[in-house]
Structure 1
Amino acid sequence: MQCGYFDAGLCRSCTHLLTPYADQLAAKDAHARAALADHPGLVWLAPVASAEGGFRNKAKMVVAGTVEEPTLGILDTDGRGVDLRGCGLYSPAMHALLPSLAALVTTAGLTPYDVATRRGELKHVLVTESPGGEFLVRWVLRSTEPLPRLRKHLPGFLAAHPEVVVVSANRQPDHKAVLEGEEEVLLTARGTLTVEVAGIGLHLGPRSFFQTNTAVAAELYRQARGWADRVAPTSVLDLYCGVGGFALHLAAPGRRVHGVEVSEQAVASARTTAAELGLTDVTFAAADATATGVPDADLVVVNPPRRGLGPALCATLEAGAASTIVYSSCHLGSLARDLAALPSYVAREARLLDMFPHTDHAEVVVLLERRGQTAVGSEK
C-alpha cells in the first residue's frame, strides 16, 4: 500500500509498509509458530489475512494546531501536530467525515491542547465506524469548559451528518499519556453504535472496547464458534467478554453462556444485544474476570488484555472443571507464559488473525483441551 505520509517521513506507524503484504503475513505466522514451539503436536490453521487498506474501524486522532487550523492525527517528536486525515487505513466514509469534525473544532471554538505549555482544552477526537456506515464520535476534553459551545453547535453538525448517531464528551484532566478519563457525558439521545459482526449486531457504547478490524474480528468469532460446535459444550464461560462478541456468537440451543466483564457499560450493551436476539440462555455480569471463582463451565473463553491472564487466573482455570479453553491473545509473550501456567491443558489448534497489517501486532487464537481427554477431530 502506498502512503504519502510514510513516504514523506511524517508517520512511520506502519513499520512494515514497504514489505509486500503476503511476506508480512508469512512472517507473522512464522513468528507465532516459533513463540509456541514448546507445544508439540499443535496444529496451525491457515492465517487470516486482512485488507491492506481501509480496514480500521476506529480513528484515534490527537488534536493539535490552532482553533482556526486544527490538525487531527499524531504529534511529531517536537510535540507539533501532524494531520493524518487522509490515512489509507481508514475507509472513504471516514475520510469524508474527518474534515467536518475539524471544521466543528473551529466553529465551536475548541482550543486544541498544547502538550508543551499544558494549555488548551481538546485533546483527542475518537471516531468509530460501523459496517453500515454509522459513526460514534467522542471528544476528549481537559475540562467541561468547552461543553456549552459543543452542545450549541452540535445540532447543526448532526443535521448535516446524519450518519453520526452517537456523540459524547470525555473528560481527561491529567497531563499524562492516558487516552481518556473516567467521566463521560452523552450528547445524543442514542447511546450505542450497532456494529454487525458475522450476522450479530453488537452494541458499542462510547467506552466500549472492540477489535479495530471488523472483518477480521468476524473471522475470529467464526473460528471460536466452529471450535465450540465441534466440542458441543452445554455451558460456556466468557471471561473479559466486552460487549459480548464471543458469548453471543457461541450461543446455541441447549447451551448456557455467561459473560464476565468489568465494564458495566459493556455489560449493558451485551445484555441489550442478547435481548434483541431473544437469547434467554445468555447472561452477563459486571465483575472482575480474575475474581470470578473456579469456573464450572464445559468451555471457557478468555480474551484478556495484553498483560494476559496472570498466575492467579491460570491457577483458577487449572482448578476448574472446564474440558476446553479458547484463548484469544493480542500478545504472544503473555500467551506463551499463560499456556505454560496451564499444564493440565494441551494446545491442539491455533490460528493467527492479522488485525493490524503493516505492524508487528496480530491476534492469535488457541484451542486448549484438558489432558487425558480424546481430542475432537481437527480442522485442516
Structure 2
Amino acid sequence: MTKQKNRGYNKTQKKHNRSNKKYNKQSPSQGGRKNSKSQGKPAITNVGRGKQKTVAAQVSCSGLTDEGKGIVQWEGKQLEVAHLMPGEKAEVVISSKGRYVNAELKRVITPSKDRVKPACTYYYECGGCQLQHMNAQAQMRFKQETIDALMQPFGKPEAILTMDDPYDYRNKSHMSFGLNKERQIIGGLYAQNTHQIISMEQCLIHDPKADEIGETIKDLMKSFKMQPYNEDTGRGFLRHVLVKVGKVSGEIMVVLVVASSVFKGKNNFVKALRNAHPEITTILMNVNNRNTSMVLGDQEKVLFGKGTITDTLCGLKFDISAKSFYQINPIQTEKLYAKAIEMAQLTGKETVVDAYCGIGTIGLVASQKAGKVIGVELNKDAVGDAIRNSKRNGVKNARFYQGDAGEFMVQMAGRGEKADVVIMDPPRSGSDEAFLSSVVKLKPKRVVYVSCNPVTQARDMKYLVKNGYEVEGIQPVDMFPQTVHVECISQLVLKND
C-alpha cells in the first residue's frame, strides 16, 4: 500500500514516543490479546438453538478478503480471521452456535516474512486501521490486487500511487468521550463495530496537533466539571470533539459537539483552551441533542474566530466549514486530482460538468484547464461554499448550482446543451441508475469517475460500458494508508456512434 520503508516505523514510533507501559498490548503474534470484541467480526449476536461451542484449532491462511482478513478452512467452512496473512499458520479460537461461526486469532505459529509489529500501541483494540501488521510492500500488494480483481472486466489498472510517509495524514479527526469503570473521563475512538470507547492519547494517522488538543479538552473537562454524554442514559454534555487542520495554512478548527445549547462556563472554557493552544483559529459549538449515530447536529454557533478555516490544495485556496466535505489526505488528493484532470484530457475549450461537486474542489482545479465548468451539488451549504471558493480564487469560468446532478444533466440534454466531460465523485454507495442514465443521455465524450469505493464503482462502470462507453484508464490511489480503503479513478470514453 505504501512506499514507506522499515525506517518509517521506527521514525514514527520515535516521533510519537509511545513508551508508557500501561498502554502496551500483546499482539496476536505474541500469544494473546485483550478486548477481543474489537477484533475482526463482532461476537455472535444472533444465535440459534443449542449451546455455544468454543474450540481452538490450527489453520493455514490461503488468501485475503477485500476487508484484509485472512481466509482459512475449518471443518468444510471458509472462515475470515482478522490480522492473519497469506501463508501463515496460526492458532485460532472458533466459536460456533447453530449456523453462526466466528474465528479470532490467538497466536501466529508461522509468521509471514511480510509481518511487522504495528507502530500503533492501540492497533489490536481500535480497529480504525486494519493493515498495520503488514509491511509497506504487503499493504501495497493487497490494495493493488484488490483493484486488479474488481477491475478485471475493464482492463489492467495502473500501479497504485502510494504515500511516502503514510502517517499523520488526516486533516480531520474526531474524539469521543465517556467514563471508565472508575468513573474517570476518557477520550478516544470507538472500538470496531461498537460504541465502546478505546482510551487513547494519539492516533498515528491523525494530525498530531489534533490529538494534543483532544487531550487538553479531556483535562479541561475535569477542571470545569464537564460530564461526557452517555448514549444509554441521555445525560451528560460533551459528545464529541471534531478537529480540522489546514495542512498548508496551519489554521485549526475545533468543534465541540454538545448535547445541549446551555454551555455553563463557556467563555472561560474557550479562553482556557485558547491559552493552551494559541494555534487554534476558530472554535464552534455544534448542538446534537438527538439519539443518533451522526456526529454533527443541525444547530451551530461560533464561539471564537470566523467559523471556518482556509487551506490550499493544487494551488487554490478553499474555505472549509465544520460540515463541508474536504478530502482528508491533501498530499494524496493532489495526486488524485492531477490524475483525474489528466484523464479528462482538457485543452482549454471543453465544457465540464462536476457532478457531486461538494465545495467545488475538483471543479475549480479543472477550471484552470477547461473552457467552462458547471458544478452541481444537492447540499445547499456546500454550493454556497463552492461559490465563495470560486470568488476567492478569482475563477471566472465556473458556475455552481444546487440540485440533483442527474436531473440537471437530463435538463441540459433536453435543451440540446452539450458537455464534453463529466467528472463524478459520488459517496461510498456510488451512483444510481437515474444518474447514470442521465450521463448516457447527455453523451459526454469522456467520463472521469473518482471513487472511494471501487466495489460500487465497478458496478456503475458496468452500466456505462453497456450503454456506449469503453474504459481507457484505471488508476488506484492510496488515500487511506494503514486501512483497507483505497481510492480509484477510471476514465471512460464514448464509443463512436
Common fold: TM-score over 0.5: yes
Q: Secondary structure at the match of 1:10?
A: helix
Residue 56 of structure 1, aligned match among 155, 162, 170: 170
Count of aligned pairs between the two proteins: 368
Deviating more after overlay: 272-281 vs 107-116: 107-116
Q: 1:108 to 1:366 in 2, by over 3 A?
A: farther
2:479 aligned with 1:362: no
Q: 1:36 aligns with which of 140, 144, 151?
A: 151
Alpha-carbon distance in structure 1 between the residues aligned to 2:275 and 2:345: 46
Distance 1:34-1:79 versus aligned 2 partners, 3 A rule = closer
Measured against aligned partners, the alpha-carbon deviations of 1:76-109 in whole angstroms (never above 9, x if no partner) come to 5885532223111123333433322223333444
- Per-residue displacement from partner, 1:176-235 (whole Å, max 9, x unpaired)? 322222222222341221121121121111110112211111111111222234565521
| Partner amino acid, structure 1, of 2:133 | L
What does 1:74-89 correspond to in 2, within 5 Å? 74-76=189-191, 80-89=196-205
Counterpart pick for 2:257 among 108, 123, 140: 140
| Aligned counterpart, 1:258 | 374
Paired residues of 2:202 and 2:208 also in contact (CA < 8 A): no
Q: Does 1:124 align with 2:248?
A: no
- The question of whether the paired residues in 2 share the 8 Å contact of 1:205 and 1:266 is answered with no
**Correspondence list, 1:1-380, <5 A:** 1=9, 2-6=119-123, 9-39=124-154, 42-50=155-163, 51-65=165-179, 69-76=184-191, 80-131=196-247, 132-146=249-263, 148-230=264-346, 233-252=349-368, 255-294=371-410, 295=412, 296-342=418-464, 343-372=467-496
- 8 Å contact 1:108–1:150 — kept in the other structure? no
Amino acid at match of 2:469: Y
Aligned-partner Cα distance in 2 for 1:307–1:75? 23
User: Which amino acid is the alignment partner of residue 274 of structure 1?
Assistant: S
Deviates more, 1:77-86 or 1:163-172: 77-86
- Hey, what's the Cα distance between the residues in 2 that align with 1:115 and 1:358? 30
Amino acid at match of 2:394: G
Q: Take 2:440 and 2:225, find their aligned partners in 1: how far apart are those partners? A: 56
Distance 1:198 1:246 in 2: 9
Q: After the TM superposition, which of the residue ranges 233-242 and 281-290 deviates more from structure 2? A: 281-290
| Residues 215 and 48 of structure 1, relative CA distance in 2, 3 Å threshold | same
CA distance in 2, matches of 1:253, 1:116: 53
- Secondary structure of the residue that 1:118 maps to in structure 2? coil
Cα distance in structure 1, aligned partners of 2:390 and 2:274: 29
**TM-score normalised by the chain length of structure 1:** 0.89
Structure 1 residues 57 and 253, CA, compared in 2 at 3 Å: closer, same or farther? closer
| Deviation larger for 244-253 or 282-291 | 282-291
Amino acid at match of 1:210: Y
Partner of 1:259: helix, strand, or coil?
strand
Deviation at 1:236, TM superposition (A): 0.8
SS state at 2:483 partner: coil
- State the one-letter code of the partner of 1:57: N
Choose 1 or 2 for highest CA Rg. Answer: 2
- Tell me the SS of whatever aligns to 2:389: helix
Percentage identity across paired residues of the two chains: 26
Structure 1 counterpart of 2:442, which letter? G
For residues 9-58 of structure 1, give each alpha carbon's deviation from its aligned partner in whole angstroms, at most 9, with x where no partner exists.
Answer: 4323211110112211121111112112111xx35222111232111111
1:240 Cα deviation from its structure 2 partner: 0.9
Distance in 1 between residues matched to 2:399 and 2:282, nearest whole Å = 26
- Cα deviations across residues 211-270 of structure 1 (Å, max 9, x unaligned)? 221111111111122223456552111011111111111013661112112222222222
Q: Is 2:356–2:424's contact at 8 Å kept on the other side of the alignment?
A: yes
The answer (yes or no) to whether the contact 1:221–1:245 under 8 Å persists in 2 is no
In the TM superposition, what is the alpha-carbon distance from 1:291 to its structure 2 partner? 2.9
Aligned pair in 2 of structure 1 residues 183, 291: CA closer, same or farther (>3 Å)? farther
Partner Cα distance (2:346, 2:157) in 1: 17
SS in 1 for 2:304: coil
Larger mean CA deviation between 254-263 and 92-101 belongs to 92-101
Distance 2:221 2:475 in 1: 43
Between the two structures, name the one with larger relative contact order (CA 8 Å, sep ≥ 6).
1
* SS at 1:4 equivalent: coil
Structure 1 vs Structure 2 CA RMSD: 2.3
Go from structure 1 to structure 2 and tell me whether the alpha carbon gap of 1:57 and 1:32 turns closer, same or farther (over 3 Å shift): same
How many angstroms apart in 2 are the aligned matches of 1:78 and 1:91?
24
Q: Which amino acid in the other structure matches residue 223 of structure 1?
A: K
Question: Contact conserved, 2:243 with 2:255, CA < 8 A, in 1?
Answer: yes
C-alpha deviation, 1:367, in angstroms: 1.0
Partner of 2:98: none
- Over 3 Å counting, the alpha-carbon distance change for 1:82 and 1:230 in structure 2 is same
Partner SS for 1:54: coil
In the other structure, the counterpart of 1:378 is none
Give secondary structure in 2 for the equivalent of 1:44.
coil
Q: Contact 1:15–1:359 at 8 Å: present in 2 too?
A: yes
Give the direction of change, closer, same or farther, for the CA distance of 1:107–1:274 in structure 2 (3 Å limit).
farther
**Residue type matched to 2:162 in 1?**
A
Amino acid at match of 1:355: M
